[in-house]
Amino acid sequence: MKQCLDQCGYPDSEPNVVSVRGGMRSDAWIRALKEQLNEGVQMVVLLLPGSKARCPTYDDVKKFLLTEFPIPSQVVLTSTIQRGKNLRSIISKVLIQMNAKLGGVPWCVDKLPFMTEPTMICGMDVFHSTALGKKSVLALTASMNQSATTYWSTSVTQDEIGQEGSTNLQTGMTSAIDAFKRNNGAAPGQIIFYRDGVGEGQVQGICVPEIE
Protein backbone atom coordinates (compact mmCIF):
# COMPACT_ATOMS: atom_id res chain seq x y z
CA MET A 1 0.00 0.00 0.00
CA LYS A 2 2.82 2.39 0.82
CA GLN A 3 4.40 1.85 -2.60
CA CYS A 4 1.11 2.66 -4.33
CA LEU A 5 0.55 5.71 -2.15
CA ASP A 6 4.03 7.06 -2.89
CA GLN A 7 3.52 6.50 -6.62
CA CYS A 8 0.17 8.34 -6.61
CA GLY A 9 1.45 11.17 -4.45
CA TYR A 10 -0.98 10.56 -1.58
CA PRO A 11 0.14 11.73 1.86
CA ASP A 12 0.27 8.85 4.33
CA SER A 13 1.48 7.95 7.79
CA GLU A 14 2.39 4.64 9.36
CA PRO A 15 -0.73 2.62 10.23
CA ASN A 16 -1.33 1.19 13.68
CA VAL A 17 -1.18 -2.57 13.04
CA VAL A 18 -3.06 -4.83 15.45
CA SER A 19 -3.12 -8.63 15.43
CA VAL A 20 -6.39 -10.29 16.42
CA ARG A 21 -6.38 -13.63 18.18
CA GLY A 22 -9.52 -15.67 17.98
CA GLY A 23 -9.69 -16.79 14.37
CA MET A 24 -13.10 -16.23 12.81
CA ARG A 25 -14.90 -15.31 16.05
CA SER A 26 -16.67 -11.98 15.63
CA ASP A 27 -16.47 -11.10 19.31
CA ALA A 28 -12.66 -11.26 19.21
CA TRP A 29 -12.50 -8.81 16.30
CA ILE A 30 -15.05 -6.45 17.84
CA ARG A 31 -13.24 -6.55 21.19
CA ALA A 32 -9.95 -5.66 19.48
CA LEU A 33 -11.65 -2.77 17.67
CA LYS A 34 -13.13 -1.42 20.90
CA GLU A 35 -9.66 -1.46 22.49
CA GLN A 36 -8.06 0.46 19.61
CA LEU A 37 -10.66 2.87 18.28
CA ASN A 38 -10.63 6.51 19.31
CA GLU A 39 -11.55 9.87 17.77
CA GLY A 40 -8.13 10.15 16.11
CA VAL A 41 -8.68 7.08 13.91
CA GLN A 42 -9.66 8.05 10.35
CA MET A 43 -10.27 4.60 8.89
CA VAL A 44 -10.15 0.91 9.76
CA VAL A 45 -8.72 -1.60 7.30
CA LEU A 46 -9.51 -5.21 8.19
CA LEU A 47 -7.70 -8.24 6.79
CA LEU A 48 -10.32 -10.90 7.43
CA PRO A 49 -9.69 -14.62 6.96
CA GLY A 50 -11.80 -16.66 4.55
CA SER A 51 -13.97 -15.78 1.60
CA LYS A 52 -16.97 -13.43 1.57
CA ALA A 53 -19.53 -16.23 1.25
CA ARG A 54 -18.01 -18.03 4.24
CA CYS A 55 -17.11 -15.14 6.49
CA PRO A 56 -19.81 -14.38 9.09
CA THR A 57 -17.31 -12.09 10.79
CA TYR A 58 -17.61 -9.73 7.81
CA ASP A 59 -21.28 -8.86 8.49
CA ASP A 60 -20.82 -8.59 12.27
CA VAL A 61 -17.78 -6.30 12.07
CA LYS A 62 -19.34 -4.12 9.38
CA LYS A 63 -22.50 -3.73 11.49
CA PHE A 64 -20.40 -2.71 14.50
CA LEU A 65 -18.51 -0.10 12.46
CA LEU A 66 -21.76 1.30 11.04
CA THR A 67 -23.78 1.49 14.25
CA GLU A 68 -21.76 1.35 17.48
CA PHE A 69 -18.63 3.19 16.32
CA PRO A 70 -19.39 4.85 12.97
CA ILE A 71 -16.10 5.09 11.08
CA PRO A 72 -15.14 4.43 7.44
CA SER A 73 -13.89 0.89 7.00
CA GLN A 74 -12.38 -1.23 4.27
CA VAL A 75 -12.45 -5.03 4.43
CA VAL A 76 -9.91 -7.06 2.48
CA LEU A 77 -10.24 -10.84 2.58
CA THR A 78 -7.01 -12.76 2.94
CA SER A 79 -8.11 -15.13 0.16
CA THR A 80 -8.04 -12.16 -2.22
CA ILE A 81 -4.41 -11.29 -1.59
CA GLN A 82 -2.92 -14.69 -0.76
CA ARG A 83 -3.11 -15.76 -4.41
CA GLY A 84 -0.48 -13.12 -5.13
CA LYS A 85 -1.95 -12.37 -8.57
CA ASN A 86 -2.56 -8.78 -9.69
CA LEU A 87 -1.70 -7.61 -6.18
CA ARG A 88 -0.75 -4.06 -7.17
CA SER A 89 -4.00 -3.68 -9.12
CA ILE A 90 -6.05 -5.00 -6.17
CA ILE A 91 -4.32 -2.67 -3.71
CA SER A 92 -4.76 0.32 -6.03
CA LYS A 93 -8.51 -0.36 -6.21
CA VAL A 94 -8.68 -0.72 -2.43
CA LEU A 95 -6.95 2.64 -2.03
CA ILE A 96 -9.41 4.28 -4.45
CA GLN A 97 -12.30 2.96 -2.33
CA MET A 98 -10.64 4.20 0.87
CA ASN A 99 -10.10 7.62 -0.69
CA ALA A 100 -13.78 7.85 -1.69
CA LYS A 101 -14.98 6.75 1.76
CA LEU A 102 -12.88 9.53 3.34
CA GLY A 103 -14.55 12.14 1.12
CA GLY A 104 -11.98 12.28 -1.67
CA VAL A 105 -12.83 12.35 -5.37
CA PRO A 106 -11.17 9.42 -7.16
CA TRP A 107 -12.07 10.66 -10.66
CA CYS A 108 -14.55 12.86 -12.50
CA VAL A 109 -15.71 13.74 -16.00
CA ASP A 110 -14.33 17.16 -16.91
CA LYS A 111 -16.20 19.99 -18.67
CA LEU A 112 -19.64 18.40 -18.94
CA PRO A 113 -21.66 20.68 -21.25
CA PHE A 114 -24.85 20.63 -19.19
CA MET A 115 -23.00 21.59 -15.99
CA THR A 116 -22.25 25.16 -17.12
CA GLU A 117 -25.09 26.38 -14.88
CA PRO A 118 -25.75 25.13 -11.33
CA THR A 119 -27.03 21.59 -11.86
CA MET A 120 -28.23 18.97 -9.37
CA ILE A 121 -28.22 15.34 -10.56
CA CYS A 122 -30.62 13.18 -8.54
CA GLY A 123 -31.23 9.47 -8.30
CA MET A 124 -34.19 7.70 -6.67
CA ASP A 125 -35.36 4.16 -6.09
CA VAL A 126 -38.02 2.51 -3.94
CA PHE A 127 -37.38 -0.80 -2.20
CA HIS A 128 -40.17 -3.02 -0.89
CA SER A 129 -38.97 -4.75 2.28
CA THR A 130 -40.55 -7.99 3.47
CA ALA A 131 -38.70 -7.50 6.78
CA LEU A 132 -40.70 -4.30 7.30
CA GLY A 133 -44.02 -5.93 6.52
CA LYS A 134 -43.77 -5.00 2.83
CA LYS A 135 -43.45 -1.29 3.61
CA SER A 136 -41.59 0.79 1.04
CA VAL A 137 -38.19 2.40 1.62
CA LEU A 138 -37.42 5.45 -0.49
CA ALA A 139 -33.76 6.24 -1.26
CA LEU A 140 -32.86 9.61 -2.77
CA THR A 141 -29.46 11.06 -3.72
CA ALA A 142 -28.52 14.49 -5.09
CA SER A 143 -25.20 15.87 -6.34
CA MET A 144 -23.75 18.84 -4.48
CA ASN A 145 -20.92 20.15 -6.70
CA GLN A 146 -20.14 21.08 -10.30
CA SER A 147 -18.40 17.80 -11.11
CA ALA A 148 -21.24 15.73 -9.56
CA THR A 149 -18.78 13.88 -7.34
CA THR A 150 -20.14 14.73 -3.89
CA TYR A 151 -23.65 13.67 -2.92
CA TRP A 152 -26.32 14.33 -0.32
CA SER A 153 -28.58 11.35 0.41
CA THR A 154 -31.53 10.23 2.50
CA SER A 155 -33.76 7.20 3.01
CA VAL A 156 -37.32 7.16 4.33
CA THR A 157 -39.62 4.29 5.32
CA GLN A 158 -43.06 4.88 3.83
CA ASP A 159 -46.14 3.79 5.75
CA GLU A 160 -48.23 2.55 2.84
CA ILE A 161 -47.60 -1.15 2.14
CA GLY A 162 -46.06 -1.78 -1.28
CA GLN A 163 -46.13 1.91 -2.16
CA GLU A 164 -44.11 2.80 -5.27
CA GLY A 165 -45.08 6.40 -6.03
CA SER A 166 -43.36 8.37 -3.32
CA THR A 167 -45.28 10.55 -0.89
CA ASN A 168 -41.97 11.60 0.69
CA LEU A 169 -40.31 12.79 -2.52
CA GLN A 170 -41.38 16.42 -2.04
CA THR A 171 -39.87 16.54 1.46
CA GLY A 172 -36.69 14.85 0.26
CA MET A 173 -36.25 17.18 -2.73
CA THR A 174 -36.80 20.23 -0.51
CA SER A 175 -34.00 19.05 1.79
CA ALA A 176 -31.76 18.26 -1.18
CA ILE A 177 -32.24 21.74 -2.68
CA ASP A 178 -31.57 23.35 0.72
CA ALA A 179 -28.33 21.35 0.98
CA PHE A 180 -27.38 22.42 -2.57
CA LYS A 181 -27.96 26.07 -1.61
CA ARG A 182 -25.71 25.70 1.46
CA ASN A 183 -22.94 24.18 -0.66
CA ASN A 184 -23.18 26.49 -3.66
CA GLY A 185 -24.78 29.72 -2.48
CA ALA A 186 -27.72 29.31 -4.86
CA ALA A 187 -30.45 26.84 -5.79
CA PRO A 188 -29.87 24.59 -8.82
CA GLY A 189 -30.69 26.16 -12.18
CA GLN A 190 -31.65 22.74 -13.52
CA ILE A 191 -32.27 19.26 -12.11
CA ILE A 192 -31.50 15.98 -13.88
CA PHE A 193 -33.44 13.12 -12.32
CA TYR A 194 -32.81 9.37 -12.68
CA ARG A 195 -35.75 7.24 -11.53
CA ASP A 196 -35.01 3.54 -11.07
CA GLY A 197 -37.45 0.66 -10.69
CA VAL A 198 -40.24 1.87 -12.99
CA GLY A 199 -41.32 -0.01 -16.12
CA GLU A 200 -42.59 1.62 -19.32
CA GLY A 201 -46.21 0.91 -18.38
CA GLN A 202 -45.81 2.64 -14.99
CA VAL A 203 -44.48 5.99 -16.25
CA GLN A 204 -47.90 7.73 -16.40
CA GLY A 205 -49.04 6.33 -13.06
CA ILE A 206 -45.80 6.87 -11.10
CA CYS A 207 -43.32 9.22 -12.80
CA VAL A 208 -45.76 11.90 -13.98
CA PRO A 209 -47.30 12.44 -10.47
CA GLU A 210 -43.80 12.48 -8.97
CA ILE A 211 -42.63 15.12 -11.45
CA GLU A 212 -45.72 17.24 -10.77
pLDDT tens per residue across span 39-93: 888 899 998 887 666 677 888 898 999 898 889 999 888 888 887 778 888 888 8
Q: Identify the burial level of 169 via C-beta atoms within 10 angstroms of its C-beta, where 0-12 means exposed, 13-18 middle and 19 or more buried.
A: buried
Residue 164 has pLDDT above 60, yes or no: no
The confidence score (pLDDT) of residue 167 equals 63
DSSP states along 11-43 = -----------STT-HHHHHHHHHHH--TT---
- How is the chain split into domains, by residue range? 2-101, 113-211
* Domain 113-211 class in CATH: alpha beta
- Closest to 123 (Cα-Cα) out of 185, 73, 50, 191: 191
Q: How far is CA 62 from CA 28, 72, 101, in A?
A: 14, 10, 14
Residue 162 has pLDDT above 50, yes or no: no
**Mean pLDDT over residues 158-163, rounded?**
60
**Mean pLDDT over residues 146-170, rounded?**
76
Residues shown for the chain:
212
Phi, psi (deg, nearest 5) at residue 154: -155, 160
d(C-alpha 203, C-alpha 195), whole Å: 10
**Mean pLDDT over residues 162-185, rounded?**
83
In CATH, what number does 2-101 get? Answer: 3.40.50.2300
**Mean pLDDT over residues 168-191, rounded?**
93
144-164 in b/e form (b: 16+ CB < 10 A) is bbeebeeebeeebebeeeebb
Q: How far is CA 33 from CA 38, 77, 154, in A?
A: 9, 17, 28
Q: Answer with the residue of higher pLDDT: 207 or 34.
A: 34
pLDDT in tens, 97-151: 988 888 888 888 888 888 889 999 999 988 876 776 767 788 999 999 999 998 9
